[in-house]
Amino acid sequence: AQSVSQHNHHVILSEAASLELGCNYSYGGTVNLFWYVQYPGQHLQLLLKYFSGDPLVKGIKGFEAEFIKSKFSFNLRKPSVQWSDTAEYFCAVSTNAGKSTFGDGTTLTVKP
Amino acid sequence: EAGVAQSPRYKIIEKRQSVAFWCNPISGHATLYWYQQILGQGPKLLIQFQNNGVVDDSQLPKDRFSAERLKGVDSTLKIQPAKLEDSAVYLCASSLRTAGANVLTFGAGSRLTVL
């Protein structure tokens, strides 16, 4: 069975600081990787995804993530965060059987 | 397109009572998921349907939880009897595909408090 580990439970940054959120997964087969985001008062929504090809993927609002197969990692990055990036971020793994497993999330607070 | 609809948004019940949650997925999405999200944790899959068939219910506590998706469209999740540890947000999601690269679209969730 697959599992997902997010290293940081709560991250606090000032505006314009750089962001990196860690995500590691455990699964021996082919995986599809996702970051979902939940802004205050809103639904969980897709931020970006990796299915195949270029391991550096770009998502909405300037976010990107890099898949490093040898490290079983899919870390999320943003060079300069904004106050509006305050949200909870979830890393998820989906197998070819279609089962999606989520990490426990990282709460990001950006101070203006 | 209309999103995933869920109701009720909030429900407070006492332990041993029963509760039901309803979900209407995005039109045309064959796959429907119910997740349980306990405070401070990530969503945990309870059950996955493709059309009106169950794909995965391995983590559904079948002694008290049940779910159905009649006619392959909307779905109902029931808890009977509820326990204190069932307090959580119940998320419904749908996706166009079943296998592999399936992007989930989530509803707003139904927050259950069991007293």
Asked if residue B37 lies in contact with residue B55, where contact means CB atoms within 8 angstroms, the answer is: no
Q: How far apart are CA A92 and CA A85, in angstroms?
A: 19
pLDDT of residue B102: 83
pLDDT digits (tens, 9 = 90+) for A44-98: 999 999 998 999 999 999 999 999 999 999 999 999 999 999 999 999 999 877 7
- Å between A62 CA and nearest CA of chain B: 20
Mean predicted lDDT score pLDDT of chain B: 93
Omega before residue B61 within 30° of 0, cis: no
Q: Do B43 and A102 touch (CB under 8 A)?
A: yes
Residue that wins the pLDDT comparison between B99 and B86: B86
Asked if residue A109 lies in contact with residue A13, where contact means CB atoms within 8 angstroms, the answer is: yes
pLDDT of residue B85: 97
Q: How far apart are CA B50 and CA B45, in angstroms?
A: 14
Which of left, alpha, beta for A61 (phi over 0: left; psi -120 to 50: alpha)? left
- Mutation site, A7, A8, A52, A99, interface B, largest B CB count within 10 A: A99
A 10 A CB-CB count for A10 gives 10
Q: Do B3 and A43 touch (CB under 8 A)?
A: yes
Residue type, B30: A
Q: Do B100 and A51 touch (CB under 8 A)?
A: yes
